[in-house]
Each structure stands twice: as C-alpha cells, then as structure tokens.
Amino acid sequence: MPEKKLEIKLLSKTDSGLSLIYAAFRQCYSAGFVGDIWDDLVSGKIEKEKQAEFIAKILESGHESPIEHVSFTFAVQGVSRALTHQLVRHRIASYSQQSQRYVDESDFDYILPPSIAKIPEAKVEFEQCMQTIGKAYRNLKRILQDNGLGKKANEDARFVLPQACESKVVFTMNCRSLLHFFELRCCERAQWEIRKMAWKMLKILRQELPVIFAVAGPKCERLGYCPEGEKFTCGKFKVRG
C-alpha cells in the first residue's frame, strides 16, 4: 500500500487545432465558405502566425464558442478519489475512471496530503489508518466471497475504502471547458491536489496551443482583481470595490 505520486500524460488532441479554431472563427465573420481555404490553413500557405493573430484578436472580444471544436484527452494517475469527485463536477467533459467494482483494491495505493506528510505524528496516524482499512477491505472481501458473492465481493467491500484511495482516470475536455477549469482550479483557493494537477495540465497545453492557453489560469489574473470577495480572497489581487 505505497503512497502514489501524480502523473499526467496527454493522450490525444484534435488534429490541426489552430487551423480548426481559425476556420470556425473566420466562418462567423465571412460570407465565403471556409472549406475552400482549409487546405491552405493546414499546409501553412495561410501562415500559422496570421491564424494565431486573428484568433487572439477575436478572443479579446469575448467570443469563445468556436474554440469548443478543439479537445484534449489526458490520462492521469496518482490522484485521490477526493480529487476525482471534484473533477467530474466539470460537466462538459467525458470521463473514464478506474472502477472499484472490477479492480481489486486489496493492496490499494493512496495519496498522502502534504500537510499530513510534514508532521511525523500525523503521518504515522494516517498510514496506520490506511493499513487498517486495507485489512478491513481484505477481510470483508474474503467473508463475502465465502458467502457466495464470488467476483461481486469487490462491489460491497469497496464501501470501506477512503477518499485517499488512489485512482486513475482518462478525461476529455474542449478548450472552452479547459479555460473554465483552469480559472477555478488554478486559483489559490482551490483544493491543493486538484490545483497541482491543473497547473501541470496547463503547462502542457501552453506548449500545445499557446494562442488559447498562454494567458489561461486563475480568473483573477485575467480580470486584474479578485472576484471572490473580501471573505474568500487569497490576497493576491485586490477585491473590486
């Protein structure tokens, strides 16, 4: 039952994402048919820099719906069930998560919060708890199997598993959903684990599609003030008066 570390891998992305966004934006403002210039966009005959400049200019106006045509798919491991419960609240996305019904958790990995890790007494208490839960899971699974549940024993034995239990998930979000995700989850007030994951994802996407993600991040950085109000602000930006 070892502690597990966060790992993120970009599995897939929409082909020709920059050109696709450009084409979608251009169609909104052009009487012509963007299908006629598609090959020139993809080949670079219409320069990528000019495509990016056009996209950036339109984005400044607040028009964002065309960026929904481009999506990214991530595989993540070394995250807790506490994190994934937050993640799936982002509704315009697709998720495929490791199932505790079908995967044996007899020797489950877990996520150790940094606040607990740095206090020896707390770390010992936490790790002893993980060991106790692991033993309870194995005992329950054995008892259920002995009473005829067979492979379905996992289904009910899992009820004792903690939120710290490590999970793996594949998820896909379009660019607009990702911008919203980063506004919320890169914020200093976001829970530490999902904030750490969000910043790692954003680092990847700033390399992949900078015209969209170079300025992505906490909402306060875009607005220039903290929208959380005096009660919840982290103090990085002033609250709008």
**Nearest-CA neighbor of 139 among 155, 153, 124?**
153
For tokens 């106790």, what's the residue? Answer: 132
Residue 128, CA distances (Å) to 37, 115, 220 in order:
63, 16, 40
- For the chain, counts of helices (H) and of strands (E): 11, 4
Within 10 angstroms of residue 121's Cβ, the number of other Cβ atoms is 8
SS3 59: helix
Nearest in space to 114 (alpha carbons), one of 185, 170, 195, 204: 195
Q: Using CA atoms, how far apart are residues 48 and 201, in angstroms rounded to an integer?
A: 24
For residue 217, count other CB atoms closer than 10 A to its CB.
19
Q: Decide if 185 is catalytic.
A: yes
Residue corresponding to tokens 């798919």: 73
CB 111 within 8 A of CB 164: yes
Q: If you write DSSP's letter for every residue of 205-240 in order, what string do you get? A: HHHH-HHHHTT-S-HHHHHSSBTT-TTT--SSSPBP
Which is the catalytic residue, given 185, 206, 222, 240? 185
Catalytic residues: 185
